[in-house]
Amino acid sequence: MKKLKIMISGIGNRALPKRPEGSNWLGWVELIRRSEQFELVAAHDISEDARKRIVERGYLAETQTYGDLDQMLEEVQCDAILVSNPAEYHADTVAKAVRKGLHILIEKPFVNNLKEGKQLVEAIEQKGIVAAVVQNWRSKSVGLALHDSIQSGLIGRIGHIMFRYVRNRENPNYPPYIFEEPYPLLYAMGIHHLDLFRYILRDEYESVSGHSFKPPWSLYKSDTGVSLFLKTGNGTPVMYSGTVSSMNNALFQESLVIEGEKGTLFNESPWLEPPLWFFPRGSQEKVDLTKGVEDASIAGQYNISDEYILGDFYRAVVSGKKSLCSAEDGLRSIAALEASRRACETGITVFLKDMER
Ligand SMILES: NC(=O)c1ccc[n+]([C@@H]2O[C@H](COP(=O)([O-])OP(=O)(O)OC[C@H]3O[C@@H](n4cnc5c(N)ncnc54)[C@H](O)[C@@H]3O)[C@@H](O)[C@H]2O)c1
């Protein structure tokens, strides 16, 4: 099998964890090293420390690291780029990679706003390259099992989805910029959850109403909680409530209930780890739909889902198969975020079709 040459922009925690022993994932650099499909040939980061780290850990020679993206794109012959720098730079990095005709794997969120995303999707389509987004809640074992059980008709017609998120992200040791971020719940985590629901339902949001809030102890500038009511094109209601200002570290962060006419799906976990339970209608018995999963740990699940995405990206490049989440698909989740934010800010119901203008 011919390996594809890949470069990275952004050598932070997602690409190469600063503290590997406490990390929830191995990171892209190590996954690529283990992969038979990709070969890492260069990396870019504006931080000298980050560039040093990848060299000191033996992944690249110093001459393969760049502080300047344009220079890397100019000098390195490559098939693909992995964009793992902060979200605000995704659009710029992707635009440059598209001009070079590279295939692109982009960490979530695809971009920071709908407008810049639309222009990029057009450019990507014109170039005929593969651009895939890392929406890894889809490829965690529970995400895949949710998709399959709903799409196979196991729970029948869907009544509604209820989701709640309770997280303590009020850590004064975090870098100050974290506390300046607008709607941290929506942009850091809602992008995973709202995207997952679109994927498992194979349906698009039509409208959203909602409110945002934050408790008196919050260190954040913006509201840290939201309560949303979304409705899909097929009429499925999605109730989404959460906060990143909980003072609780004991409860599971994620709690998901999906009701169908033939039964209920249920998951409660830190970051969507197994088990996914199915309660057949009228029965006290529950069935573990993720029974066969080899590693249900937090790190195990991140690595399984990241490996899946890497393999999926490869197949999309070499065989033209549609990727698990294309840029166009990822952009629809950005639209859902923006609509949710607008709904909270205005107090009115926002229709997704109006977001496209
Ligand atoms: N899919 C997931 O589960 C998941 C989890 C966490 C983060 N992420 C995403 O991964 C990406 C990286 O997040 P992270 O946690 O590694 O962040 P990080 O802050 O640990 O690392 C970001 C790195 O990018 C570098 N950088 C800053 N500006 C840059 C620029 N203009 N060009 C190139 N590099 C630049 C920084 O020096 C740093 O090394 C973000 O898009 C984030 O949303 C995804």
For position 122, which CATH number holds?
A: 3.40.50.720
Distance 112 CA to ligand 1 centre (A): 13
Tens-digit pLDDT profile for residues 292-313: 999 999 999 999 999 999 999 9
Ligand 1 lined by 14 (C-beta under 6 Å): yes
Whether 46 lines ligand 1, by a CB cut-off of 6 Å, is: yes
Task: Name the residue among 80, 78, 54 with its Cα closest to residue 66.
Answer: 54
Among residues 125, 128, 149, 145, the alpha carbon closest in space to that of 137 is found at 145
Find, among 169, 300, 177, 158, the residue nearest to 231 by Cα.
Answer: 158
- Do residues 264 and 282 share a domain? yes
**Residue 309 is assigned to a structural domain of this protein:** no
Does 140 contact ligand 1 (Cβ within 6 A)? no
Does 143 lie in the same domain as 68?
no
| Domain end marker among 129, 150, 183 | 129
- What is the pLDDT, as a whole number, of residue 357? 55
| Ligand 1 atom index nearest CA of 15 | 16
Mutate to test the pocket of ligand 1, among 26, 46, 81, 106 (most ligand atoms within 8 A of CB): 46
CB atoms within 10 A of CB 26: 18
Residue 301 lies in a domain: no
CA 184 to CA 225: how far, in whole Å?
8
314: in domain: no
- 95 and 63 fall within a common domain: yes
CA distance linking residue 302 with residue 73, whole number of Å: 29
CA 203 / ligand 1 centre spacing (Å) = 30
Whether residue 94 is found in the same domain as residue 207: no
Residue 122 sits in the same domain as residue 159 = no
* pLDDT value of residue 89: 96
- CA atoms of 49 and 47, how far apart (whole Å): 5
Is the domain of 156 the same as that of 117? no
Whether 302 maps to a domain, the answer reads no
CA distance 8 to 45: 9
Given 105, 129, 153, which residue is the final one in a domain?
Answer: 129
Q: What are phi and psi of 249, to 5 degrees?
A: -115, 10
- CA 86 to ligand 1 centroid distance, Å: 4
Contacts of 190 (CB under 8 A, 6+ apart): 183, 226, 240, 242, 337, 340
Ligand 1 centroid from CA 14, angstroms: 6
CB of 107 within 6 A of ligand 1: the answer is: yes
The preferred substitution site among 19, 25, 26, 45 for testing ligand 1, maximizing ligand atoms within 8 Å of CB, is 45
Pairwise CA distance, residues 49 & 44, whole Å? 12
Same domain? 118 vs 142: no
Whole-number Å distance between alpha carbons of 190 and 254 = 11
Cα(84) to ligand 1 centroid in Å equals 5
Report the distance separating Cα 124 and Cα 126, nearest Å: 5
Percentages of the chain per state (helix, strand, coil), in multiples of 5: 40, 25, 35
220: number of Cβ within 10 Å: 19
CATH number of 228's domain: 3.30.360.10
Residue 322 lies in a domain: no
The residue segments making up the domain with residue 51 are 4-129
Count of domains forming the chain: 2
Cis amide linkage into residue 109, ω under 30° from 0: yes
Asked whether residue 317 is domain-assigned, the answer is: no
Which residues in the chain come in under a pLDDT of 70?
A: 356-357
Asked if residue 121 and residue 143 are part of one domain, the reply reads no
The residue from 71, 101, 129 where one domain ends is: 129
**Which residues are within 8 A (CB) of 335 and not within 5 positions of it... i.e. 6 or more apart?**
114, 352, 355, 356
- Among candidates 161, 165, 133, 131, which has minimal Cα distance to 333? 133
What secondary structure letter does DSSP report for 72? Answer: H
Pocket of ligand 1 contains residue 87 by CB under 6 Å: yes
Distance CA 147, CA 314 (A): 22
**142 and 74 in one domain?**
no
Is the same domain home to 158 and 289? yes
317 DSSP 8-state letter: H
* Edge-to-edge order in the sheet of strand 263-269: 287-288, 277-280, 263-269, 254-260, 158-166, 237-243, 225-232, 205-213, 350-351
Clarify whether residues 343 and 262 are in a common domain: yes
| Domain membership flag for residue 48 | yes
Distance in angstroms (rounded) separating the CA atoms of residues 312 and 236: 29
Whether residue 134 has its Cβ less than 6 Å from ligand 1 = yes
| Tokens of residue 273, six digits | 């780890």
Q: Is 178 in the pocket of ligand 1 (CB under 6 A)?
A: no
**pLDDT confidence of residue 178:** 87
The answer to whether residues 163 and 104 belong to one domain is no
Q: Would you say residue 70 lies in a domain?
A: yes
Q: At CA 301, angle to CA 295 and CA 305, rounded to 5?
A: 125
Model pLDDT for residues 103-161, shown as the tens digit of each residue: 999 999 999 989 999 999 999 999 999 999 999 999 999 999 999 999 999 999 999 99
